[in-house]
Chains A and B, each alone.
Chain A
Amino acid sequence: MNLVPLYVAIPLGVAFLIPLLGTWWKKSGEVLSTVSTALLALMAILSIGAPAVVLYMGGWKAPVGIALVQDGLSTLLLIAINVVAFLCIIFSLKYMTEYTGLRKYYSLFMLMVAGMNGVVVSGDLFNLFVFLEVASIASYALVAFGVEADELEAGFKYLILGSVASVMILFAVGTVYAVTGTLNMADAAREIATKFSGPDMNPALLLAAAFFLMGFSLKAALVPFHAWLPDAHPSAPAPISAMLSGVVIKSLGVYAIARIFFTVFGFSPDVASSGIIANAILFFSVLSIVVGGLLAIGQWDFKRLLAYSSIGQIGYVTLGIGVGASVLASGGTRSLAALAILGGLFHLLNHAAFKSLLFLSSGAIQRATGTRDMKRLGGLKERMPITAATTNLAAFSIAGVPPFSGFWSKLIIIIATIKAGHPAIASIAIGMAFVTLAYYVKVQREVIFGDVGAAVVKAREVPAAMYVPLIVLAIVCVGFGLLYPVFGDRILEPARDALLNGAEYIKLVLG
């Protein structure tokens, strides 16, 4: 049985059912979204190890019809999206009670999940754009959900920049269609590989690649396209910050960059222009690592610190992918490219776990103490032992303390970078890993340990519905650090192979 369309159909249907049933069923949002995200997370986890599947919508074979594809890379993203979404919904049940209009919240949340799932299973460029817009519009509204002055301003900024990104992506989609005459990704990849190969890429395709890179980098918040993120993430409600940082910027940004450039455009030493694209990805990644890390140190707002840290960590993810791309583009060995991509994808998965954990913890802390100003926090382990412990674990993981998960993924990325012949970039990455450690030590000193802060005195541990997702994510973080042999060859390696073997994707979709 082919379950791929359900990843889109279930959340989309639930998103519209919630307000419909809401008039006579008050808890429609809570119940329906919990059940459906649990089901989606289960479906995603059960699809581990299954062979790649394609569904042709309406029975029209590609390239005429729209294809939905679930290969290794899609499975990796589907697991991250749906598991994080489920835990965020559980967290929301208690956390969101202080807001009004909850049915709208759950409805928008499910729309966002539907959009992201759609992006990662879509095999069609325009379809990808449509799902990207569905997820983006829902996330604009969710960032401004508090409708206070700050939330609205952050939401408006995100909305304007996000719309510019969408315009760029649509322009690029149109250009690819004009050149290749197809919107199906596999078909476009075949056209580009057969008709437009050669030392110089078709200039129109290069323009499209530039617009794709700008548009998706804006969605992924890579420096210098990051201006919306440090405002949007702290302003959103905590579960939405966790979703934005944990999965939205990855599925709309990093996944799309990886899929479009590896699968559709392809990196090969015969095409000189593909080296330019790889170098551009590397350049943005290094800028993100440096700028995100350095700006994070000076922050005293806990969520704003986490937001800047997201920029830096996304830089590591794209660095792994970019090194892989540059190795392929310069004709290096495939095993080295595979190592770099594996590191990037591993960091993507780790970041989804520990950053959503950190943002949810920040929400729990804000709920219990009423502040996220780190100067007024401190000594949290006395008053909120569970939240303090999970925050601590996540901080260890993201700072790259061995044997936690962040250490291994950063290590793989840095080793691959050195072996690929970029010692300067590798030393920057190592240096900034220590900066990451520095600002998470600051988090530990100011928030978890130390004297009990002014705001913490009366704080009590949050209810179980809020700390259970934290504990689950903390276990996942530890698991990613210690149990690579268990999940690595089932989740990460198929995803890596999906990126490396573009030809197999073409064969899969076009038959």
Chain B
Amino acid sequence: MSQRGRLLLFLPSAAVLLFLLIDGLQRLTGFGHYPGPYGFVLNGVGVNQRHATNLVTAVNFDYRAFDTLGEEFILFTATTAIVLILRHMRGERERPSGDELRRENASEALRGMALAFVAALIVLGGYVVTHGALTPGGGFQGGVVLGCAAFLVFLAGEVVAMKRVAPEKLLEFADAAGAAGFALLGIGGLVFAGVFFQNFLDLGKPGSLNSAGTMPLVSISIGIEVAGAFLLVWTEFLDQAVLVRSGGGGSE
């Protein structure tokens, strides 16, 4: 279909869709008039029941942990699919001077800044992961921060060094081990408390680091998985940049 025909088809239907969307959304309760009761109930009992002060994490890693398991496996499956799609195809080989090419591109200022922030990001990521049940954060957010720490090494132009601190085998292992760890914690609930994803550990004192039972462990296993998965995806994309197809004709 031509660009013009496509637009002619889209614009009237988009107008109808916009009208229906606005009409439908208008029937929701107004902004700020949350009808409840689920959120109010959780806010009332959450801290006493689970000893976690961050109720978003309590919902994600405890009350609705089964949902999060599905979400985690979406991440795992998508990562696997990306690794599969971006595998080395027949007739592709690595450009011999690929690593040296990119090393020259980073300026001294960028290298200095990036390397200076690596340690800080690792500390921040670890903090966000382990304090997920207490303050804003959790495994997903902290995992991305941890992944960024290794990515900064790449930004500094140290492709070889990044491959050394985060080799693909390790990333694949982290991705799989994190996913398995979360599932095992769910099975732990089944074994020790009779219900899948039941919080089976001592809940501790609200506000302390080892409170909220299984939540910090879930947070750590998700943090490991997310850091591994994101770095694995980045590595796969980076590898594409140094690939060439043999027989010419392959300029990416």
Say if A and B assemble together: no
Residues of A within 8 A of B (CB): none
